[in-house]
Amino acid sequence: MPWTTYNSVSIPSFMYGTAWKKEATTGLVLQAVEAGFTAIDTANQLVHYDEARVGEALVQLTRQGITREKLFLQTKFTPVNGQDHRLPYDARATITTQVQQSFASSLTHLHTDSLDSYVLHGPYSRRGLGAEDWEVWAALESLYDAGKTKMIGISNVSADQLTLLCAKANHKPMIVQNRCYAAFGWDKDVREICRTHGIIYQGFSLLTANSGILAEPDLRAMAVKYQAGLPQIVFRFSQQIGMLPLTGTTNPDHMKEDLQCERFTLSPDELTLIETIGQ
């Protein structure tokens, strides 16, 4: 079942993430789409992503009849502090110009003339929101207002920062994408703000950030009960508590299995148990 943002755009309920795939990116995106993923997440940041190789996969998919309209594409603007020397923009330019240059470069990489979702990779400030944050957000809002992206969002954001952004922005985010730790209640404070404002919360590193809980007997018992793998239990839990999960698996079997998690439904008690398991 697709989800719908507060501005009435639908988004698939599971997303394939392309971080740290390097030269394997093209092949893995092809495998993910073949497995059934229709939403792809990337970033214009060569330290961790290869956006152009995602684009190569999209070209091949179009040849196979899977056109751009059938896929949900999300990429990110990464500020200078998250980049290495291979910048997709002029570091001496204003932040507004950097966003415009990075966005144009993303469209070229992805062989498209518009995006479904454009995300700020993280605020400039550690606490609160400074002048750079407001400038970068205004630049994202301009792209949205011009119809170049159907939604805008922010990643790696704290509850305080998100509260500020929702209160003062012309357009509050439609997407929040955060790393999700069981030890901190699966980012409960940020998820609560998202729920209040109708923002879609995307969780990443659900498995890698929480490897400890996969050994929990209660979780293993659920896996037996539902004849599912442990990752399926975690992904299904995340969807049921209102989170859109990302997976970055490189295993074609796991890609198919991850998408199968919607075939069962965890009970309210089981959800509560997993929500407090790491605390």
**What pLDDT score was predicted for residue 3?**
93
Q: What is the pTM of this model?
A: 0.97
Q: Domain locations in the chain?
A: 11-208
**What pLDDT score was predicted for residue 171?**
98
| pLDDT of the chain, 279 residues: tens digit per residue | 789 999 999 999 999 999 999 999 999 999 999 999 999 999 999 999 999 999 999 999 999 999 999 999 999 999 999 999 999 999 999 999 999 999 999 999 999 999 999 999 999 999 999 999 999 999 999 999 999 999 999 999 999 999 999 999 999 999 999 999 999 999 999 999 999 999 999 999 999 999 999 999 999 999 999 999 999 999 999 999 999 999 999 999 999 999 999 999 999 999 999 999 877
Report, at the CATH architecture level, how domain 11-208 is classified.
Answer: Alpha-Beta Barrel (3.20)
Which residue type occupies 244? Answer: L
Residues in the chain: 279
Q: Residue 192: name the closest of 216, 158, 223, 224 by CA.
A: 158
**Do residues 169 and 175 make contact, with C-beta atoms less than 8 angstroms apart?**
no
**What is d(CA 271, CA 52) in angstroms, rounded to the nearest whole number?**
39
Pairing of strands 72-77, 175-179: unpaired
**What pLDDT score was predicted for residue 17?**
98
Tokens 């179009």: give the residue.
62
